Structure 1
């Protein structure tokens, strides 16, 4: 089967809480957060040597977009690297605030909703063939994405004023989607965005932009989220019949499913039949198992994905959440919330449980509750510390991200002013020699090497530097000294968010 390129864009919640007085508003804190970035790159929209993108989004949300990855563990590692980089910025911002007389702490949350009900996203990008029939893709993919929250939701303590009262839901994001498919993003917030911006050869590729996902803290949840979506896409691309699950009302369905943790909520498909999310997901899972049995596994994680997919559906169907309460975010969080509720003899409407919900997503490695659970053996991990450390400094080696990272690091080492985006690479003093790399799988490019060789004879040597050598030049706790940043100025239109 063909390789696929993946990417994830994560918006972070940002807040400042003072010790004795009210904290600064988010826009002020964001300026402190990105001060080192702006000082270094003369922009709040930059690429860094691991080939990922770091920028300040609308609404003062810090955002990190991973480099292109063709391996799911590389994708998860790059995303985890983004947490580390953002945490470093938060520490530096807190120190700067204290020097300016503002006490308290800076919090960065990898979640999807703030205390005022505002939502921000975790967006997935899948490179698909241009030949894929988009109408068929959306017909099959929308029911999968609407119901995917039962296997990959982040979980949410909901304060409700209706007859349901306060309760636990599968998803933070579900209540904030307004359309099934649209070219808009922030205005209507669709499940699938149709803006045709492939960042690749448009005659060959198209970018599928999925806006509906919850931000995941759990690496195993991420593996299932991206891996199951990839399997459904591959069946669509292969023309495999996967069943007719087209929903009459996708937006009504996504909310209805989210708020029924029993998994028994029925949603109507075209034709009038009612199915539960578990039934729809189970039907797609069985098709995926048959597809793999016939065509073979296309990567080494397929068996793990299928097994976890099936076990998660059984956990929802049976109500025995212990089957996945170390691997799936909503189940990990629900176990913690329920334990605190039982210990303190409070209901879901208690502010303490809202606080637990938020603190689960705190990216601070010592303070965040998810990280605490992992240290106590209550949350599974896929990556060791070394792989995450490498991903902070080094781009994925099997996509064009390797070329971008090499270009950035080499130009910085020579002090050459430069600009890049996902496709373009330019030395400012050689504007006529700017390069476009449209092939997402390119890991070598003689034109780029020839351009860098004009800077000096050390460019090949710089490409082969070890992580230790890169860290000797700088590492996670001194961004302006340790990460090479380059402003994304000439092609500054950001990807869809």
Structure 2
């Protein structure tokens, strides 16, 4: 299993609230890279190719931001990931990883990268200088790891899982739909307000639930489906497919992120091994997505196609019983389910985002505030602030009221060092050593000094395989190029 995440961060300029987020996001990406990152090569991307066997590119309706419109706003990172502007948001894509713990670490590393970008923007502004030509200096930025702007818009926190092309996509989709509906009780981020505009007072488990409109869809910005059908594996197309999951929340809590990725990975493994989940199909999964999110008691009975009724916890227990146990995810999954069942959300306020946020909100409700009070809405927003000095999530961690899993030092190191057991290692090290010689790069290839190095397999070009070659950099470029050619590593 190969894992990866993509996070579109919320961005604002409190002192200039009408400033275009496309401009501010571009400031963030360009200030972070300061012209040192490699140009992203879009030639291998097919966002409108559908896993059901067709391509909608001739009907393109999804807005695309030209990466060259405001300067370089799309760069490859030293950790092998990607940082760019997408749909008026700064977006971080983590490098390819081989296990959910590693994926958690590199997902959290994105927060460090965004914080660095904010600091570098501020440094330019302090000198009354703009890194963007023909634009004023950027005002102070605020970055949030959330999924809603409170004005009706939602932006994504996507997960990616590589699976074998021999796996039937419809079987994969139908087996996962009930799980995705139910899993939000573990990996929801929590949200004040119900409805796309938050027009109905209340608190719910998921930030994305109100924006899920179909069971299956190719779209990611409208008509969103529980299952997304984009067929863009970023690997050998004849061998692999990539499940692009758009229904999840951006999570701060380590347990929420780890289980979001780990549970899904175990279930995909089980599906590929032939495990049957057809008896768990829901009668109306789109409606149940909201029903589960709105039910803080976790007792809502979901109606199955066969007429049975199971709660989200009971559905998750069925999945848990049918996957192959591992040493980390399976026991942790069981512990969280048990705690939610016996103690409700209060029992997991030290591990899960939606529970921790609701605990904070409840403390204010008990003092007489109503759920519609602006202070409650501010709690919702401040929880997801990535600035440790302002973030309520980070305050909980400092006060030992939120458990973490990955050490902060390991997360910080992941912001600048690539995973050692995937092709991200070679990509990231090239960015570190010779960014000025890289003509273009993407997930599947890097072009160095006119020589394209294809990497269709994710678990090649690892540290073990490429360190002897990388030892030639940056001092001996001719020998590096000659070795690439001699070893048949270039097209």
TM-score by length of 2: 0.82
Q: 2:78 is matched with which residue: 40, 49, 52?
A: 49
Matched residue, 1:7: 4
CA distance change for structure 1 residues 410 and 39 in 2, over 3 Å: closer, same or farther? closer
How many residues matched? 437
| Aligned match of 2:476 | 457
Cα shift at 1:348? 1.2
Partner SS, residue 128 of structure 1 = strand
Q: Does 1:258 align with 2:277?
A: no
| Alignment check: 8 A CA contact 1:51 1:67 kept | yes
Query: Which one of 107, 110, 129 corresponds to residue 79 of structure 1?
Result: 107
CA contact (8 A) 1:400 1:440 kept: yes
Residues 107-164 of structure 1: CA distance to partner in whole angstroms, max 9, x if unpaired?
A: 10000001212100110000101111111111110110111101111111115799x9
Distance in 1 separating the partners of 2:401 and 2:294: 25
Which runs of structure 2 are paired with 1:395-410 in the superposition (5 Å)?
395-410=418-433
**1:33: Cα distance to partner?**
2.0
| Structure 1 counterpart of 2:350, from 326, 340, 345 | 326
SS of aligned partner of 1:333: helix
Q: 1:23 to 1:95 in 2, by over 3 A?
A: farther
Moved more, 172-181 or 451-460: 451-460
Residues of 2 paired with 1:77 and 1:392: CA distance? 9
Asked if structure 2 preserves the Cα contact closer than 8 Å seen for 1:400 and 1:437, the reply is: yes
Indicate how the Cα distance of structure 1 residues 153 and 447 shifts in structure 2: closer, same or farther if over 3 A, else same: closer
Equivalent position to 1:66, from 94, 101, 116: 94
2:243 counterpart SS class: strand
Superposition CA RMSD, Å: 2.8
Name which of 370, 378, 384 aligns with 1:361: 384
Question: Of 25, 31, 34, which aligns to 1:30?
Answer: 25
Deviation at 1:314, TM superposition (A): 3.4
TM-score (norm 1): 0.81
Q: Is the 8 A contact 1:49 1:394 kept in 2?
A: yes
Please say if 1:184 is aligned against 2:219. Answer: yes
Shift of 1:319: 4.9
Q: Does 1:317 align with 2:341?
A: yes
SS at match of 1:145: helix
Pick one of 185, 190, 196 that aligns with 1:150. 185
Q: Which runs of 5+ in 1 are unaligned?
A: 462-497
Match of residue 236 from structure 2? 201
* Structure 2 residues not aligned, in runs of 5+: 38-70, 129-135, 481-491
Q: Contact between 1:150 and 1:313, CA under 8 Å: does it hold in 2?
A: no
Q: In 1, Cα distance between the equivalents of 2:294 and 2:252?
A: 21
Equivalent position SS for 1:158: strand
Q: Indicate the SS of the match to 2:437.
A: coil
Matched, 1:393 2:408: no
What's the CA shift string for 1:225-254, capped at 9, x where partnerless? 111111111111111234511122221110
